[in-house]
Structure 1
Amino acid sequence: MEAMIRVALDKLPPWAFHLFAIVIAVGIAFYFIKTLYINKKFSEMISDIMNREDRTLTMQTRVDELREAHAATEQTAQQSLSALRNMKPFVDALNDLRALADPYAVLNESTFLMQRMLDMLAVDMKASPGGHHRCGVWLATEQMLTLRFASAGFPKHYVGERQLHVDRSIAGRSFRKQVVIQCVDVTKDEDWERNVESKSPYRSLISIPLGEYGVLTMDGLQPFSESCRTIGEMYAAVATGVIAEHVAAFVRWSQANGVQEPDLISADRRV
């Protein structure tokens, strides 16, 4: 067989070898071009798959973000709705308080009402599990704000004794300017002064003025949301009404008993 092929090749004219070389070269070139084309298409296909994967990941990330936003919105709505439900009995109690004629009864009922409100407000501030808050009402006496009503979280001896200077405290600035102040970290505020006797872990604060009477403060471990601020402002509106009734009853009680007290704080101790 090999001899026959050799004889056949020997009989071929010289130009036949050139033709065979050209055909082989064309075949190699065609194979090379086809290989490049196939590689290009394969690369495009891989790139398209990768782009689709990236788009899928981007879409999934966006979906996750929307789910988180929806969950946060739903949580805010539920928190606000719960606060409104909890607040309604306090509004009704305030209306009942206004109907009482006995100033001594008003003083007692307003004190109990304010205490219940602060305890419930501390609960309504909880936007997530594990949150801890404390709330207090500070009444203004000359240049000082004195803690008159307090929820759990304040030491018992603070009520009636703990004071903040109107000119050297965040609550004092809120009272002076009659504006709501919301601090993410009180230790970074220029009006914050360390209480050497306190080991409180609370860092965030919302202070809401109660007209001429004082301020409502809310302390938290984590920064407050805007919904918490709104809830606090609604409670502050009711608290202002309760304090107004408390003050009016104190005046009537003082006149009826011929008592003259320098301020509401010391008078409450006596009553």
Structure 2
Amino acid sequence: MLDTLITDMRTLHAVADLRQRVRGWKRNGLTVGLVPTMGALHDGHLSLVRTALRATDRVIVSIFVNPTQFDNPADLETYPRVMEEDTRLLAEAGAHVLYAPTVAEMYPAGFATTISVRGVSEGLCGGHRPGHFDGVATVVCKLFLQSQADAAFFGEKDFQQVHVVRRMAADLDIPIRVEACPTRREADGLAMSSRNRRLTGPGDRDRARALPQALAEAARAIAGGQPAGPVLAATREHLLAAGFSDVEYLELRREADLAPMAGFNGQPARLLAAAWLAGVRLIDNVPVPAAGA
């Protein structure tokens, strides 16, 4: 694999320019990695870039705040946009291309196609954000086709999203490898997220860390043989008492296909949660460790 750490990162805004650059790489036998993001980058994103740089010869990072995956217009409006800072971080990380299309480039006049993935998109975030995963599947499909990447890298924090993207790529025969990378966490355990920037009230960050702590404790209890139902009910009450205003969902799901699980049976499983704190929606998930792990 060639040395990928270079300083002349290019920022491209048009599909045609991106494809031209990728064609040149592929003529030279280079492999291409893609890291799709919506910007407001943190070390979780940058860890994906570092993984992509180790796995492929050339790395594209996309920044596109995708309007079709927001069910709440206010959430779209307030989503952080810090392109100058993001550009600096990506150049320092060694990315080769920053792909930042406009809305008009991604969804030109007359655009009329939506991709819907059944099964893994149902329930959890999909149950509380109508149309969200249709928007995700559609834009990620376009990014895959626009970039012609050999591999794409996603964080496990958005665990349901990883399943949706993998199912979409497999069903549509898109020749790309979808890699899921471990969730990066702050020192206090909170999963890194662009939305954490909005936890600005007194004590918000202290209260937020109750989410990963409660999930970890619940996972250990369930793995230890305690019935899942009572453990999850107690965990929900604990989060509300810790200052969360609402727990959208807190569920035990099979890791392989996100099928609901009434109890832990030794198969790889995940606890997944979404909860509101100070007007910010936080999501997280943890594996349920196998017996003896």
What is the TM-score of this pair, normalised by structure 1? Answer: 0.24
Greater fraction helix? 1
Specify the structure having the higher radius of gyration (Cα): 1
Greater fraction strand? 2
What is the TM-score of this pair, normalised by structure 2? Answer: 0.23
